[in-house]
Structure 1
Amino acid sequence: MNIELEEVLSHEAFRRAGPIVRAGAAFVPGRQVRWVHSSEVMDIAPLLSGGELLLTGGVELAAATAEQRRQYIRDLAARSIAALGIESGGPLKTIPADLIQTAEAHELPLIELRKVAPFVQIAQSINSLLVTRSVDLLRQADVLSQKLAAELANGGGLKELLQLLASQIPADVTVLDGAGAVIEQAMAPATAETQSDIEFPPLEFDISQRGTVTASLRLSPKTDGDSSWAQVVGERAASILALALHGRHAPDLVDVAGKELVRSILGGVQGQRLRQLCRTAGMDPDDQFVVVLGRPLGAGCRWAGVERLVRKYRTKAIVYVQQQEMVAVAALPAKGSRARRATMLSELKAGVVDQPQVLVVGPVSAGIADAARSLAETRLTFDLAPAGTGPGSVIDADAFVIERLASQATGDEAIHHVVDELLGGLIAHDDSRRSRLLETFDEWLASGCNTAETARAMHLERQSLYNRLEKIFELIGGDPRGTDRLAGLHLAARLGRYLRSS
């Protein structure tokens, strides 16, 4: 359940703090707040999941440099928080212009709190309101779920269930198969409210049968307002629709074998049984395979769209969901397997942008017997991914080969020696100055020493990056471009970031 930012700004508890919007005023209307949180920590962004109204007294901001303040805003905007409220008059006498300009540029509403802001009282008041409305919403959804169950028990089919949903939300309701083809649909009843020319974003939900995603439910709301109602109804309705679909689209032997194949890989089964299940599922056990692992990062996570992308170009794939984790095992052609994996990786990155999930595309396995190793390396990549990896991220396990090897190496002492030998001075500078030179150096090397690309990736002004590089070269003994030192320094930078995050 969300609440509009405009309503929060007009709430009595919030008005006592004398709020005034200093940046991003154009983006306040329609902005949804999921929770109110307060913190003085500058590196809070990785701990946020989006939709928060963040309140701060400005203690750390007052002591930070202009660049650190700009990075703070960029990081918060990247996490899609609803707004930032900063108390002025205390440690932070006024809101610095660099904060306002950066917030405006990144479409982040920045609210100055001109009076002493009772953060605890504000958070309790708004969050209590959110909880109360969420409870009411769940009660309404329970009533609708009971209606759907009763319709199903009385002999109603998929069409009747969708018609009931369409009238109660109201929304156009469609059930799609794994390939995206329409199985059944129902339109919202024509009323004055539903005749609007405005198109609202559709919501999609997985329909799973015994752990396998077999279809998806798409809701296209016809009225304005918070999408929480449609979200809660869709989540509840999916399980009931799975029962209605069972008799109409019961899993065949291939589907059952595919599900059992993934379960066997998860359980570490080897030998002839694994090969037999693979053949029954319609795949050659001697083909090459790739594992795609997905984990949710919030409500509304769905996997049907991922399944369609994985199966594109007639790729045979099995998608299995267990305990909030999605595991897909996809067969690759004997020739061009690396190219097919690269295409799949690229399309997944384009297809799941802003979705509340993170995916990892694992290494290619030589035959189904090697799929368990690929799965283990894929899970390891999840553990090694940078803190704060945001929703809609697709991680390439091949990009973490160095970290995967380092995490399994027995000679940790030797790794530390290599890093200290080549980058000890740089790391010491980061520790004493709270700077980000190691991260900057690694990003610059990973881009092929492309300054413009690094500046974009790190949200830095070009001159700021030049200044950092100048300091880096001073600390490591000169510009490494065109020298034999480049490969070793890149290895040390990657290992150094791994050691600091582990």
Structure 2
Amino acid sequence: MLIPLAEVLQMPAFRAADPVVHTGDPERAMVRWVHSSEVFEMGSLLAGGEVLLTSGLGLHGRTSEQLASYVREVAEAGCVAVVMEMGRSFFSVPDSMLDEARRQGLVFVTLHSVVPFERMVEDFHDLVLQRKLGAYRYGEHSWDDLLAVVLAGEGLRSLLDAVSRSAGCEVEFLGLEGQLVERSRISSTVSATQHVAAQVRGATGPLGTLILRGQQTRHRQAVAERGAVAVALELSRYTGAVARPSLAQSLVADLAAGTLLSSGDVLRRLTEAGWAAGERWQGATVAVVDADPRRPIVDEVAAAEEAFAPTWGRVLVGSISTHVVVLGRGAPAPHRLREHAAEVASRLATLRASAPLLGFGRPVTEPGDLSDAIRSAREVVRFARTIGQQTGTLLQRDVGLQRLLARVDSAAVSDFVTEQMGELIDHDRAHASQLVRTLDAFVACRGSKREAADLLGIRRQSLYARLARIERLLGVDLNRSDHVAALSLALVAWRMRTGLDPQSGFGATPETPESITLRT
């Protein structure tokens, strides 16, 4: 159930906090949930449709670029509004946050009286329950459920599943020539003699027919009519013929959701979606393109298909949230995969007029492993964002350390970072110095002092002095490979947990303890 933000801001708890809207249109922003958090890296934790409540604690001490990045990442994750309480961490909203919110079309609201966030969440929860009860009384719940599936980008088959749940019978979508395009996968009532049909119409005319395989009732007729509109909305996300894109999207959505694990089922669905029938399985490659939020997702899907086709031939492309998922035939060796990735990235940059961020999963040898490969490829892109990489191509092995650290107990990782470089962080925080940045440059340049000095823009003698100070503070020897390896790992963990880029340094103003505390 989606509720206009303007209505949410009129709830008692929000009104009591004296909200002021700075950017965006609350009338057009539709809210799925209200959530509160002080975590800096919230972008990867959101599912879309949220109002994010924050006091700004996790943002205090950040640079203008980091604050803008925070707004951009939550907007790209589907957050519809950021609501910040004034007076705790900020007395006014930093310009960089408001500027980025305007660019992203994100609603930004400030609160000027203290009201517990918990009360706001409870008020919203009560409102949702009231709406749900009212909707069920009048039969409107089915439309809300269908629209939610479309907005979430879960694919045609998931949409037909939602129609099936509401109608209590099997549901099919037939193309213009009567061919079966997709069928619901929920086991339910099926009638061989009776059905309810509703024409699906788009902007250019008929697209097909929605069939409910059950006895005709007023309820099923209403569900069919709403379902036909929802299917038309879903199909409008794609360009070209209806059958192939919808099947590819449905397949990608099911694989991403982990509902297809049998190799036989996967091969059957691949063939139905356009994978060459009768060809011997020779493996597959999964790539994920981080979609440009300024472009319609349908354009991103079309650009990805055009960019990948010259290298991989026939590909299947779909979208999941802000990710475009590409399935290509063949499992090239790692060095060949890097070459292919570079070719695709170059073409894609030309097609979309901006450099892309691509993540590649490990080549798949068994059809049943495609779900894991999609999950891994999406994980590659998310970790790239976490470490500040906005463009380029990454294979799964390129973020191996990040993936490993993400699976280690958070407290253990925090203890390790404190042990390895805590003294260095404290020194930089107290003196606004550049030792963390220097260590990061030294590691990035593989111990080359000449390259590190050039990267930092300082004389080599100055670098020697800084390295000597690092050795004294930490009690390490930067000529020992094991010491450097441990520090390198600690830098990766620190960047992941704080969202800070060591190369930006701490700036002229010392950081607050809250802004560098390791977070999960």
Instruction: Compute the TM-score of the two structures, normalised by the length of structure 2.
Output: 0.48
Instruction: Compute the TM-score of the two structures, normalised by the length of structure 1.
Output: 0.49
